[in-house]
Amino acid sequence: MGADVTAWWRDAVIYEVYVRSFADGDGDGVGDLIGVRDRLPYLKSLGVDAIWLTPFYPSPMADFGYDVADYRDVDPLFGTLGDFKALVDDAHGLGIRVIVDIVPNHTSDRHPWFQEGLRDRYIFRDEPNDWESIFGGSAWTQTEDGQWYLHLFAPEQPDLNWDNPAVREEFEQILRFWLDLGVDGFRVDVAHGMVKPADLPDIGHPDQVRMVGSQKVPYFDNDAVHDIHRSWRRILDSYPGERIGVAEAWAPSPERLALYIRPDELHQAFNFHYLFAPWDAAELRRAIDESLATSGSVGAPTTWVLSNHDVKRHVTRYGSLARARAAAVLTLALPGSAYLYQGEELGLPEVLDLPAEVCQDPQRLRDPDSGRDGCRVPLPWTRDLGWRNPWLPIPSDWSDLSVEAETGDPASTLELYRTALHARRELQGDLVWRESPAGTLLFSRGDHVCAVNLTGEPVDFAIDGELVIASDTPGAPDSAAWWKVK
Ligand code: BGC
């Protein structure tokens, strides 16, 4: 990228490409890197600054690529290293940065280390403890010779032993491999998970997954994980062009989360607190204030995220497209960086009625309702949906939500996002709350004002200014708008 880099990531809009479901370049029903490359002009015209590609590495796909068998190649399902390089070059040519996923907590059980029986690189014990897998059931699987290995996710995802210097060294080399190929950063999967306490203490009760994100569990968020992030930061900083690390970290409090984005660690962390805030003015305001304060306390920008490949799409979480559109207009007005998940710009809902026989997500083991297939349905590109035999069926009524149907329609969600992403560049300055009726949010940033009505009644915000964007008639129930004021 050009030399004029000025902390580009501090207010960047980064679009998550779930490669498998984005665009199919070779017609086999599974999205791929050629598909992504073909659609770069779409992403450019949408106005994103960067894309984050979910794992495309060789994998048996027990967890759709988050079980990596080879960290330095591309799975044939998704293309080749040459396709990857061409994608990066084209993206950079359009001024779009490329972030790739790195999965350091665990490998695939097909990874050569596990296959070759290099047990000191994993966590083997004679007896299991009581830890549970995030996907349900025990976090331990017994091997033929009677020993057990730890897997905080699926049995096909053995956890690595980060106390072994060979593991640390290998990942540093992997980072360099992709940095040398020109990537602009990494989304660090389970960035809170790598280091486990040596004595692997029992937790003492079941249903542990409910504790993650609000309480301390011994397998996550151990202090020594920060040494790894510091060493990675030194590598990122040794490359030109401000390469970044973004933590997917589940910490028990916002203060613990802020530790991942101290100046010598990663650049950003996903803001799941905001993602999980309900459609309620007071709750959203609290999440916004708390996020700004805690990331500000370490000098890092906040990130804002409404959806991703692991959670129910926010149209469905909030209960209506009107709310989802208003949430997007609010989110894109906030200071900091925003992460979009493919398809939210079309207003796609969660697919709740996928037939059981097509659902493949291992998390359904925990309970069928927690399955993540419904947010991973392929994107509808054209009125005829644009896929031959997609790996998950696309609802036929998504024809009207397709890129083709929405493009150029000023009332569409796609055009709302496009307007917001371009207009957002004018928003400068800190957020200052202004007084507003109960159930609403009103704030200014420089010469812009944003108003959100979360009540079921119309509200007159009486703003004297030029309307820049509105998710609906300004002041309508479940709407948001920005104005430029004198
Ligand atoms: C990814 C999930 C994945 C898990 C295990 C997550 O946080 O986002 O999709 O299943 O890590 O790698």
Sole residue written with tokens 């420089």 = 446
Positions marked catalytic: 189, 248
- The C-alpha atoms of residue 25 and residue 41 are separated, in whole angstroms, by 15
Taking the mean position of all CA atoms in its chain, how far away is CA 470? 26
Q: Which of 153, 272, 363 to mutate to test the pocket of ligand 1 (most atoms within 8 A of CB)?
A: 153
CA 145 to each of CA 114, 121, 124: distance values in angstroms, whole numbers, following the listed order: 15, 18, 11
- The C-alpha atoms of residue 476 and residue 459 are separated, in whole angstroms, by 7
Strand ranges in 140-252 using DSSP code E only, listed in sequence order: 140-142, 148-150, 185-188, 244-247
Summarised one tens digit per residue, pLDDT across range 107-144 is 999 999 999 999 999 999 999 999 999 999 999 999 99
Q: Which of 16, 157, 248, 310 to mutate to test the pocket of ligand 1 (most atoms within 8 A of CB)?
A: 310
Ligand 1 proximity of 468 Cβ (cutoff 6 Å): no
- The torsion angle over the Cα atoms of residues 414, 248, 431 and 464, rounded to 10 degrees, is 10
3-state helix, strand, coil in the chain (%, to 5): 35, 15, 50
484 neighbors 466 (Cβ within 8 angstroms): yes
**Residue 122's beta-bridge partner residues?**
160
Strand ranges in 289-369 using DSSP code E only, listed in sequence order: 303-305, 337-341
- The C-alpha atoms of residue 346 and residue 399 are separated, in whole angstroms, by 11
Residues of the chain with pLDDT under 50: 1-4
- Closest-CA residue, ligand 1 atom 5, reads 66
| Degrees, nearest 5: CA angle 373-378-384 | 135
Write down the pLDDT at residue 6. 76
- Closest-CA residue, ligand 1 atom 8, reads 310
Write down the pLDDT at residue 5. 53
In the numeric block, which tokens belong to residue 202? 């029992």
CA–centroid distance, residue 377 to ligand 1 (Å): 17
- Decide: helix, strand or coil at residue 150: strand
Taking the mean position of all CA atoms in its chain, how far away is CA 391? 21
Write down the pLDDT at residue 2. 44
CA 288 to each of CA 24, 272, 331, 338, 393: distance values in angstroms, whole numbers, following the listed order: 37, 11, 10, 13, 36
In the numeric block, which tokens belong to residue 116? 């070759």
Write down the pLDDT at residue 364. 81
Write down the pLDDT at residue 369. 80
Q: Can you list the domains of the chain with their CATH numbers? A: 8-106+164-429 (3.20.20.80)
Ligand 1 proximity of 63 Cβ (cutoff 6 Å): yes
